[in-house]
Structure 1
Amino acid sequence: MPAFKPPVPACSEITPKQLYVNRRHFIAGAGAIGLAGLGASGALAALNAKKSGYTVADTITPREDATTYNNYYEFGVNKGDPAQYSGDFKPLPWKIRIDGMVTKPIEVDVEELIATMPLEERVYRFRCVEAWSMVLPWTGFMLSDLLKKVEPLGSAKYVAFRTALRPDEMPGVSYPVLEWPYREGLRLDEAMHPLTLMAVGIYGEKLPNQNGAPIRLVVPWKYGFKSVKSIESITFTDKQPETSWNMAASSEYGFYSNVNPERDHPRWSQASERVLGTGGGFFGGGARRDTEKFNGYGEQVASLYAGMDLIADY
Structure 2
Amino acid sequence: MTDSNKKPQEPASRIVTPTSSRREFLKSAGLFTGTAALLGGGLELLSRHPGASAESAVPGSPIVQAKRPLGPYDTSEPVTPYEQATTYNNYYEFGTDKADPARMAGTLHTRPWTIKIDGEVKKPQTVDIDTLQSWFPLEDRIYRMRCVEGWSMVMPWLGFPLGSLIRRLEPTSKAKYVQFTALLDPKQFPGQRADVLNWPYVEGLRLDEALHPLAFMAVGLNGRILPGQNGAPLRLVVPWKYGFKGIKAIVRITLTAKQPQTTWSLAAPDEYGFYANVNPKVDHPRWSQATERRIGELSRRPTLPFNGYAKEVASLYSGMDLRKFF
Shared fold per TM-score greater than 0.5:
yes
Distance 1:158 1:47 in 2: 34
Match of 2:317 among 292, 305, 311: 305
Distance 2:243 2:218 in 1: 13
Q: Measure the CA separation in 2 of the matches of 1:201 and 1:113.
A: 14
Secondary structure of the residue that 2:217 maps to in structure 1? strand
Look up the match of 2:300. Answer: 288
Contact 2:82–2:222 (8 Å) recurs in 1: yes
Residue 39 (str. 1) matches residue 43 (str. 2): yes
Checking the alignment, whether the CA contact within 8 Å between 1:36 and 1:214 is kept in structure 2 is: no
Match of 2:312, as an amino acid?
Q
Letter in 2 for 1:143: L
Paired amino acid for 1:295: N
Question: 2:324 is matched by which residue type in structure 1?
Answer: A
How much identity, in percent, do the aligned residues show?
56
Q: Distance in 1 between matches of 2:55 and 2:97?
A: 30
TM-score (norm 1): 0.83
Superposed displacement of residue 116, structure 1: 3.6
Tell me if structure 2 keeps the 8 A contact 1:37–1:207: no
TM-score (norm 2): 0.80
**Structure 1, residues 188-208: CA drift from partner, whole Å, max 9, x if none?**
000010000000000111110
Distance in 1 of aligned mates of 2:41 and 2:140: 17
Q: Which has the higher contact order (CA 8 A, sep 6+)?
A: 1
Alpha carbons 1:183, 1:242 under 8 Å: kept: yes
Which ranges of structure 2 fall in alignment gaps of 5 or more residues? Answer: 1-38, 47-53
Matches within 5 A, 1:140-219: 140-219=159-238
CA distance in 1, matches of 2:97, 2:255: 33
Q: Distance in 2 between matches of 1:153 and 1:115?
A: 24
Q: Partners in 2 of 1:149 and 1:262 — Cα distance?
A: 37
- C-alpha change, 1:313 and 1:169, in structure 2 (3 Å) is same
Which residue of the partner structure matches residue 257 of structure 1? 276
The 1-side partners of 2:98 and 2:164 are apart by 32
- 1:113 Cα deviation (Å)? 2.9
Aligned length: 273
Other structure's SS at 1:313 match: coil
Q: What is the RMSD of the two structures over their aligned residues, measured on CA atoms?
A: 1.9
TM superposition shift of 1:54? 1.3
Which residue pairs with 2:9 in the alignment?
A: none
Within 1, Cα distance between the matches of 2:225 and 2:132?
A: 13
Secondary structure of residue in 1 paired with 2:117: strand
| Cα separation, 2, equivalents of 1:212 and 1:36 | 18
Distance, in Å, in 2 between the alignment partners of 1:39 and 1:222 is 32
